[in-house]
Structure formats: structure tokens, C-alpha cells
């Protein structure tokens, strides 16, 4: 009988420790307003959607920012205020300015828009690397300040994912997977 009593005490003790340690939802060290400021430093525009979420046990603020020609999803660490993710969305890609226009001085972009290759050039590079297939998806993405195209190619029963540097046209990642 004593063993059941000891087991109950142990179970209650573990429960108390778990609750005291805060193993539930983590609290953010920065406010939503501070996170908005950090997101707008990463990508200038109008915040059209914001959300506070928990990812792997830590608070993450998620924002969708629109600046006209571009829409970007930005994630901010709720404890440090650091940008965890900055990803351009939609098919609205940056346009290359004409020679008569001033180059963009917008510091929120990791590289000037005039340096970025076209989506067709990125697809061409990805198809050259894969050797065959057809592009089923293409997306311009910004990750850790690097702009790249993420391209998905299907060739028979193969799914091929290729990342192409949006400035140098270099293949950054290549992966093939057999699909059923």
C-alpha cells in the first residue's frame, strides 16, 4: 500500500514541477508592437495580417506585409526580436527598373531589384540541372538576407526541388524524390 502512496506523491510532485517550470505556453519577452517594428525594418510596407504563434516551444510573431509590388511574410522571434524568416509571397515579383529610373534605395531589401534574375532564367537553370521534366511551381524567397528561387520540377515519378540564387543563378540546393 505504501508504494501506491509514494507513486501518487511522485506523480503529483512531477505535475507540480512541470507546471512551475512553465512547460506550457511560453511568454514573449517583446510586445506585438516591438515585433511589428522589427518586421517593418526587415520589409517596409503595410502590415495586412499579424499573428502571435508558438513554434517549437517559443513565441513567434508572424506578419504579412504588402508594399505594392511585393508581399512578404516575416516571422519575428518573440524573445529576441530577431527576424526568423522573410519570404516573398505570391507571383508578384520585383520588377527590374528601366535604365532611366533611379535604383531602389530601400534598405529593407537584401539586394537591389536590378540584380535579381528573372523567374524564367531561374527555371532555365533549374531545368538544365535536372536534365528533364517540367516546372510545376516557382517561388521567389528571401531567407537570411539571401534571395533565391525555389523551383519544383516533375519528371515522371520524380519530384525535383531546386534552389537557384536569384542574383548569381547558382544552384544552391538540388534534391530528387521518387513519388507514387
Residue 3 lies in a domain: no
The three three-digit cell numbers of residue 36, written as one number:
511589428
User: Could you give the CA distance from residue 160 to residue 21 in angstroms, rounded to a whole number?
Assistant: 44
The pLDDT of residue 98 is: 36
Distance of alpha carbon 171 from alpha carbon 167, whole angstroms: 11
pLDDT at residue 61, rounded to an integer: 92
pLDDT at position 124, please? 93
Beta-bridged to residue 54, according to DSSP, are 59
- Is 69 contained in some domain? yes
Q: Confirm whether 14 is domain-assigned.
A: no
> Mean pLDDT, 10 residues at a time, over the chain (180 residues)?
64 56 67 93 87 86 85 90 80 39 41 70 92 90 83 92 90 85
Q: Which element (helix H / strand E) includes 29?
A: none
| 2-33 exposure pattern, b = at least 16 Cβ within 10 A, e = fewer | eeeeeeeeeeeeeeeeeeeeeeeeeebebeee
Flag whether 54 is in a domain: yes
Domain that holds residue 69: 25-93
Assess if residue 53 is contained within a domain. yes
Residue 120 resides in a domain: yes
Adjacent-strand bridge partners of 146: 143
Residue 169, classed as helix, strand or coil, is coil
Q: Does residue 117 share a domain with residue 89?
A: no
Write down the pLDDT at residue 27. 81
Domain boundary among 37, 65, 93: 93
Q: Comparing C-alpha atoms, which of 95, 96, 79, 86 is closest to residue 65?
A: 86
Residues 168 and 119 in one domain: yes
Domain count, the chain: 2
**CATH code where residue 127 lies:** 3.10.450.40
Contact between 45 and 68 under an 8 Å Cβ cutoff? The reply is yes
Amino acid at each position: 500500500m505504501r508504494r501506491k502512496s509514494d507513486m501518487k506523491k511522485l506523480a503529483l510532485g512531477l505535475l507540480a514541477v512541470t507546471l512551475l517550470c512553465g512547460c506550457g505556453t511560453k511568454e514573449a519577452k517583446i510586445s506585438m508592437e516591438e515585433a511589428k517594428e522589427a518586421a517593418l525594418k526587415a520589409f517596409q510596407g503595410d502590415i495586412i495580417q499579424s499573428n502571435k504563434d508558438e513554434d517549437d516551444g517559443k513565441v513567434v510573431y508572424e506578419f504579412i506585409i504588402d508594399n505594392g509590388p511585393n508581399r512578404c511574410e516575416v516571422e519575428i522571434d518573440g524573445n529576441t526580436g530577431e527576424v526568423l524568416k522573410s519570404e516573398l509571397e505570391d507571383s508578384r515579383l520585383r520588377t527590374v527598373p528601366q535604365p532611366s529610373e533611379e535604383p531602389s534605395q530601400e534598405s529593407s531589401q537584401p539586394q537591389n531589384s536590378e540584380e535579381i534574375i528573372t523567374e524564367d532564367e531561374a527555371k532555365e537553370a533549374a531545368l538544365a540541372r535536372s536534365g528533364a521534366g517540367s516546372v510545376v511551381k516557382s517561388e521567389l524567397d528571401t531567407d537570411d538576407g539571401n534571395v533565391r528561387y525555389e523551383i519544383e520540377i516533375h519528371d515522371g515519378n520524380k519530384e525535383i526541388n531546386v534552389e537557384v540564387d536569384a542574383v548569381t543563378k547558382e544552384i544552391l540546393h538540388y534534391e530528387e524524390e521518387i513519388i507514387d
